[in-house]
A = this chain, B = another copy of it.
């Protein structure tokens, strides 16, 4: 049995001038992988007939499945549907279900008059099979050519995701798919090359069908083992065995033996120990709170946050002493210590995080350059302090600081609380 290979094609001039980041490709790749389909390549091209035709020709030869997004809007820069119609030698007809859907959307959901341009969204080439789009007006279209299946979808992520949920079962029906297995482990406190040396023997003994990847992630490193196989049970057992060996080797640096993000790992720990958390943020400006609350169900352990961007708010809402700010500055051990005290008393949570730093580009001083950050984590009886030096630009400095702060609280909890 052979592997089924897919190519993801995203269409839109905006992808080539860098105005938007292509998040669709990653999402589609995850879905394909989970279904046992290998993604061979991702291609982004502009709204150009020549490029679209060249890419259809190339992918027709190279892949079993081609997923296409973008260029299906009602406006004149969107040409994907016309080019597909021409390439697959069809002619445009109106799909009645799609037409009803467009009318329904405008009448009942958008509550706007439906225009001629909108109605034309229901036109499709007569050589395709339609997947109805319940989340928007442009339908999905399936074409077949020389053993390759092409699925065209709108570029709006929410609409594409809806159509993909119907496309995956169609692909499972059409191809004999193997299982694709991944095992992830997130490590912290060890660099990529030190990690490579730690597991050099493990890596040498790894059979060729199991691949190992190193993925740097916010000053941490994620390791991933991947393999595929048609005998699901045997394949999973084999990768699991190597994964357990890997976990033993990296144990001192282990954050999570899953692909969960840090905020979810921390959230599960808080839930398990029945602890509540709050944050006092200066330089991260609410980003840590945003990460904590991005996890569904966070209200079970997250009380809230005081973002104290100014000196005045640090004093008034967190009770930081005016003298402390004057003598030690806002970015100091003393200030984050008082911020944490004030936070825990105001929010009355079991544990908390306080952060103050200089994220740049301006605001650096000789003794406190841009990137200097003080973090305090702890509870009402014990506090731990860390001084970090971030070396990126502003937005990345904020992101890395936020993730580091979550990890430091995680470590504090592991050291100071008894896991049941």
Contacts and interface: CB of A to CB of B under 8 A. Distances in A.
Interface of A: 12-23, 25-31, 33, 38-47, 51, 73-77, 110, 112, 115, 117-118, 135, 156-158, 182, 191-194, 196-197, 203, 211-216, 222, 224, 226, 259, 279, 281, 284-290, 292-294, 296-299, 302-310, 312-313, 316-317, 346-348, 360-362, 391-396, 398
A392 B158 contact: yes
Given A51-B41, A306-B304, A192 B74 contact: yes
Contacts of A213: 12-14, 47, 77
Contacts of A21: 21-23, 26
Contacts of A13: 211, 213, 226
A268 B115 CA distance: 37
Given A16-B29, A395-B294, A304 B303 contact: no
B224 A19 contact: yes
A13 to B, nearest CB: 5
Contact of A77 (B20, B214, B288, B317): B214
A191 B76 CA distance: 15
18 contacts: A18-B28, A18-B29, A18-B39, A22-B22, A40-B51, A75-B214, A112-B191, A156-B216, A284-B290, A285-B292, A285-B293, A285-B294, A286-B293, A286-B307, A290-B290, A294-B395, A305-B306, A307-B307
A393 to B, nearest CB: 8
Given A293-B309, A304-B313, 11 more contacts: A12-B213, A13-B213, A17-B33, A18-B26, A74-B196, A158-B396, A286-B290, A287-B290, A289-B290, A303-B310, A304-B307
A285 B284 CA distance: 13
A194 B113 CA distance: 9
A222 B307 CA distance: 31
Contacts of A304: 306-310, 313, 317
B118 A193 contact: yes
A250 to B, nearest CB: 14
9 A-B pairs with least C-beta separation:
A285-B293, A286-B286, A286-B289, A18-B29, A18-B30, A305-B307, A42-B44, A304-B313, A18-B26
Contacts of A27: 18
A227 to B, nearest CB: 12
Nearest to A28: B18
Contacts of A317: 304, 306, 317, 346-347
A20 to B, nearest CB: 7
B33 A73 contact: no
Given A193-B117, A193-B118, A215-B20, A285 B296 contact: no
A182 B288 CA distance: 35
Contacts of A33: 17-18
A271 to B, nearest CB: 15
A170 B209 CA distance: 42
A396 B159 CA distance: 13
Given A303-B313, A313-B304, A19 B259 contact: yes
Contacts of A14: 213, 215, 224
